[in-house]
Structure 1
């Protein structure tokens, strides 16, 4: 693994627990909760910050704090959505939104969070900008465009979306009558009377993001300008989430926008702009993200970068780029679909090669782009088993907006208020407080791989039950053991020795170790197993067991256990 940026192995970063909030939705919900209008960040009640911190949250990611594109909002109004906001990811400029209180309110809120041990997190969207960003008029060559309409069926006889006197912007009419989704919009520049057809931001997986303009990373001026913007924001925020980071890797940027002759999976109409590998390498000789990492190490060394990365690029970002943290969508998908053999195999392969990679993963059960966790995992044993695993795995746990409260609505990026008048589910909140909160408050015991060990769950017939996750870890509060049966069947078996794991980065040899030694016990001493819970009974007795020959236990469907182990 690329081991530069050792600052991000420091305790504050290693033990980070991140909560995401859709900013405008959150303010609306807080207004209802506190029965007073809360419209700006500086008006958020202190009680709310205290409650977030008490749950073990140490990072708050606010979605949608930047100045948004007026053209984006105008498009939505022309769609008939009079109350819609511009999209949070169609950014006019990276300055705090005026209606959230602007720079002063943001700085005050950031200081209040920091006083409670919470680091504020912002988004950046380096793949594209809002279609009416000032760059489109002042530096149009920073974007991917053509001077000829790439499809004769595209028509731009539509309203001008620009409020900037420097030019006019026209969305292709198919977006208005729902008949097509063109890849370009029409830009008319007044200064030189030029007409350009600028490509929308696009990752090739669905429709273009029709309120955005795609930046051209073959242009060194574009790379320099975006890098400077990232550095500027990084000097103001301790954590930045990089949206759709995988689209700017050289491999995928070429595939999407400058495909080789005869290639497939490119953005429609871009086959006319084919480049050979040599031509592309000459124009984009280095990975942009590697440049970002190097520059921030010099100019903003205490800012943590989180890459939203899919398409099997996670290992590339960690090993080749040295990215600080990277999305691990496999965690959510495999647990949800109960592909337990595959995910346990994936974990084993990492432990054999480079266990420290686990510390770089961002694990989650939902994100703003996914259905709420309750709609995917439910609200009973399966969810809380996955949630306890989320809280106990090395890496960075990410909690979604409303996940703790059991909210069921998925919020759009262009809405100012929730559609559903949801209230926190008291049972779900209670169960989070009982089963999840205590684990997050002891995050230092789980975030590192130094003492992390994974176990096979051996059935009476000596076969491995791949549906059971079992691992141990340790920190200041002692040693811990998690077990989670991610299946609808009751199981019985034992754990005895850890799976092979590489323990020394300088030595490729992997070794197994016994459960008792991993828990800091002597071979002959029994151990007291206390189940971690936020509702301790003063008269509760631990389970005392001799585990020299392994730990025998039964687990019901989706049952999970987290034990704190002490020698007797």
Structure 2
């Protein structure tokens, strides 16, 4: 098994959608993990990716599918996306887990283990989901351990029917809570686990240990919901910390096992301190989306170790497609900033092709869409950059951008940073503003003095020869259109 770089890249694949598409493309009635070609895996590895996140790999129960197939609000969205949608293509949410067993759609019971072995042969690691906050409606614990769940009263059900459900269990009619976060109504295909119950915490730690035998890391869905302070806010119940014990238990048997947290509400640092290797960087995504360079630049001033553990993304299965959020020029600028910054670089299947239609996690078919050749070429170049050793394992530093002349404020739109390592010197400069701007960027490498230097743009065809001393002071002069960018390799002049 290969060791990932300090700043790895991850590719999310919707397991059920991908296998349905593969079946259509090969003319089969169904496809399993064994049918995914080695050449496809080899191609992902060649792009410099380190992780494959296989989303929706666990068993979804019939009760969850019934909810997905009957919720009128969801159905309207499903049919807007796919007017010819068949009921069998509504497979239930991959996050309403009925058991941490590989779903039947993946193949026979050993298919997931074989898939992981194939990934390892190509130098790739496997990440799967762990959903700590809730289970599906027909998880075995509902029948065997109803005390593992948050209970309600008939009055709770009457006042908040969106948050509670009555079930006929062996002890009689029982009101249980749906899984939820403190700001939204319950998810009707789930039941809320009770982290105030020590037995439940131990049972979930055992689940984490078992999952660690299937994969090399887990993406922990809404990881902050089980923090004691959040659990208390949501349910009015005290709970002991869960994550430090769960992470330690998994690593006792698998020391290199990786935990990635879906995290919001500025709780990323808290989760990192409790042992998470990586936490979602939703704040950077929101700031890139706002289109203002200042907050993005300030965000990149954070503690280096915090940044190394941040997950940079422009889309995923919870966010809209990047091609619909960012106009083309800003899409490219945002991608350069997000993915060439330090941390884990998270890509979503379809992103490289410029897909625009968001597919809910309840479906196992996606609409047909044309490839955007300009976006595809851009990501081809960006991934080639990420294959360079300095971007994967090098040292990063944010650079200051000064005014090109007195009274010209356009340097405020610039964000620039440098990477160095393994004999490489790389400069990233983005004018993250709608208008053309100018600035000087002093480069950080003192060994440039007395040398003739060539700046070669890895994202385009431009090449510039400069005196190395002038790049130190006053710095590299840049005059870039709005949302323009350069990724320069700083090399000896040929």
TM-score, structure 1 as length reference: 0.79
In the alignment, is the contact (CA less than 8 A) between 2:281 and 2:311 conserved in 1? yes
The Cα shift of 1:375 comes to 0.4
Given candidates 447, 467, 472, the residue that maps to 1:548 is 472
Taking the aligned partners of 1:65 and 1:438, their CA distance within structure 2 comes to: 30
The Cα shift of 1:526 comes to 3.0
Q: Which residue of 2 aligns with 1:23?
A: 15
In the alignment, is the contact (CA less than 8 A) between 2:167 and 2:174 conserved in 1? yes
The Cα shift of 1:204 comes to 2.6
Given candidates 58, 61, 81, the residue that maps to 2:50 is 58
CA 1:215 to 1:229, structure 2 compared with 1: closer, same or farther past 3 Å? same
Given candidates 239, 243, 248, the residue that maps to 1:294 is 248
Q: Which residue of 1 aligns with 2:6?
A: 14
SS in structure 2 of the partner of residue 185 of structure 1: strand
Taking the aligned partners of 1:329 and 1:153, their CA distance within structure 2 comes to: 33
1:398 correspondence with 2:352: no
Q: How does 1:408-487 map to 2 (within 5 A)?
A: 408-418=356-366, 420-433=367-380, 435-442=381-388, 444-447=389-392, 450-461=395-406, 465-476=411-422, 478-487=424-433
1:130 correspondence with 2:136: yes
Q: Which residue of 2 aligns with 1:565?
A: 490
Q: Which residue of 2 aligns with 1:188?
A: 168
Taking the aligned partners of 2:368 and 2:11, their CA distance within structure 1 comes to: 21
Q: Which residue of 1 aligns with 2:458?
A: 532
The Cα shift of 1:421 comes to 1.4
In the alignment, is the contact (CA less than 8 A) between 2:135 and 2:193 conserved in 1? yes
Q: Which residue of 1 aligns with 2:64?
A: 72
In the alignment, is the contact (CA less than 8 A) between 1:355 and 1:449 conserved in 2? no
In the alignment, is the contact (CA less than 8 A) between 2:41 and 2:119 conserved in 1? yes
Taking the aligned partners of 1:189 and 1:303, their CA distance within structure 2 comes to: 37
Given candidates 311, 323, 331, the residue that maps to 1:362 is 311
Q: How does 1:49-128 map to 2 (within 5 A)?
A: 49-79=41-71, 82-83=87-88, 84-128=90-134
The Cα shift of 1:346 comes to 2.5
In the alignment, is the contact (CA less than 8 A) between 1:27 and 1:39 conserved in 2? yes
Taking the aligned partners of 2:263 and 2:394, their CA distance within structure 1 comes to: 22
CA 1:340 to 1:102, structure 2 compared with 1: closer, same or farther past 3 Å? farther
- Higher Rg of the two aligned structures: 1
SS in structure 2 of the partner of residue 493 of structure 1: strand
CA 1:437 to 1:448, structure 2 compared with 1: closer, same or farther past 3 Å? closer
The Cα shift of 1:541 comes to 5.2
The Cα shift of 1:401 comes to 2.0
The Cα shift of 1:50 comes to 2.3
Taking the aligned partners of 2:19 and 2:181, their CA distance within structure 1 comes to: 31
Q: How many residues align?
A: 474
Q: How does 1:129-148 map to 2 (within 5 A)?
A: 129-148=135-154
SS in structure 2 of the partner of residue 14 of structure 1: coil
CA 1:79 to 1:310, structure 2 compared with 1: closer, same or farther past 3 Å? closer
Q: Which residue of 2 aligns with 1:343?
A: 296
Structure 2 unaligned residues grouped into runs of 5+: 76-86
The Cα shift of 1:58 comes to 1.7
CA 1:186 to 1:122, structure 2 compared with 1: closer, same or farther past 3 Å? same
Taking the aligned partners of 1:23 and 1:234, their CA distance within structure 2 comes to: 19
In the alignment, is the contact (CA less than 8 A) between 1:66 and 1:93 conserved in 2? yes
The Cα shift of 1:336 comes to 1.4
1:515 correspondence with 2:464: no
The Cα shift of 1:342 comes to 1.7
In the alignment, is the contact (CA less than 8 A) between 2:60 and 2:97 conserved in 1? yes
CA 1:101 to 1:477, structure 2 compared with 1: closer, same or farther past 3 Å? farther
1:464-512 deviations in Å (ceiling 9; x for gaps): 833211000112260100001111100011012xxxxxxxxxxxxxxxx
Given candidates 316, 323, 335, the residue that maps to 1:387 is 335
In the alignment, is the contact (CA less than 8 A) between 2:166 and 2:174 conserved in 1? yes
Q: Which residue of 2 aligns with 1:269?
A: none
The Cα shift of 1:140 comes to 0.7
Taking the aligned partners of 2:223 and 2:289, their CA distance within structure 1 comes to: 24
CA 1:557 to 1:37, structure 2 compared with 1: closer, same or farther past 3 Å? farther
SS in structure 2 of the partner of residue 446 of structure 1: helix
In the alignment, is the contact (CA less than 8 A) between 1:392 and 1:447 conserved in 2? no
